[in-house]
Structure 1
């Protein structure tokens, strides 16, 4: 087998095409596999467990209301009082009456606090409610 000789005036070249392809594939892989943070779901809550909790439905426009163990309420990462809750829900209902309200209540919170949020939703004219729970294992 004859080895081709390199001409003296020709410099060896390094082909970077395949390395660039691999770098772009890695970049695309990491961009697709990254989980994006949802600020409403960053509040540290212990959700209650339910034996028949269904999978989360297809994402649609929603407001996430977090009810902490002591009864405090947060919307969009900001703590609100009862009047702030009603105001935020009225504004959301004015923008989209079919918007879903997801109530995330801490496992240790009293049901009266969840009912208070549900009543505020009803007063604002929002009927599309969901309550977040963890599926029992």
Structure 2
């Protein structure tokens, strides 16, 4: 058996398989743990509070209309005027008249702005309408007794 000199020694080899396994596991974890938020639900619209509201699941083709404090309407995150809103709603009603529509009006907006959006939905033929609210905190609820 021949003894190797320091110049002939084998170069150390680093096994990258465990590192790659860890990286793929981290990637998979973060992909599965990420929540994908809808842009319509993250706008700066301060919803009114309601104690008797029901939490509804996300519908695949749900239309979310945000009515901002100044009375503007946002559809898919972009501001539109009422003429465009009516065209978009008619197109949605032509595809499926049962398409759910959620109207998220800022608590400080005038009621007339909400009524205009409701009218546009009804005139377009959409009847599955709901108003978005945020739940009241337990401290804000009146006490029974």
- TM-score range with shorter-chain normalisation? 0.7 to 0.9
After superposing the two structures, state which structure 1 stretch, 51-60 or 26-35, moved more: 51-60
Whether 2:141 is the aligned partner of 1:114: answer no
Matched ranges for 1:62-81 at <5 A:
62-81=62-81
Q: Secondary structure at the match of 2:59?
A: coil
Give the structure-2-normalised TM-score. Answer: 0.79
Runs (4+) off by over 6 Å: none
Q: Deviations over 1:24-78 (max 9, x none)?
A: 1100111122233423234311011111332232432111111111211121222
Q: Secondary structure at the match of 2:92?
A: helix
Query: How far apart in 1 are the matches of 2:115 and 2:65?
Result: 12
Call closer, same or farther: CA 1:58–1:40 in 2, change over 3 Å: closer
Give the structure-1-normalised TM-score. Answer: 0.83
Deviation at 1:114, TM superposition (A): 1.3
Q: Deviations over 1:65-116 (max 9, x none)?
A: 1111121112122222222211111011112212111111001112222122
Match of 2:97 in 1: 97
Q: Secondary structure at the match of 1:108?
A: coil
Matched ranges for 1:24-43 at <5 A:
24-43=24-43
- The number of residues matched between the two structures is 131
Unmatched tracts of structure 1, length 5 or more: 1-6
Query: How far apart in 2 are the matches of 1:73 and 1:136?
Result: 25
Q: Secondary structure at the match of 2:30?
A: helix
After superposing the two structures, state which structure 1 stretch, 29-38 or 40-49, moved more: 29-38
Query: How far apart in 2 are the matches of 1:58 and 1:80?
Result: 23
CA RMSD of aligned residues (A): 2.0
Contact 1:48 1:107 in 2 (8 A): yes
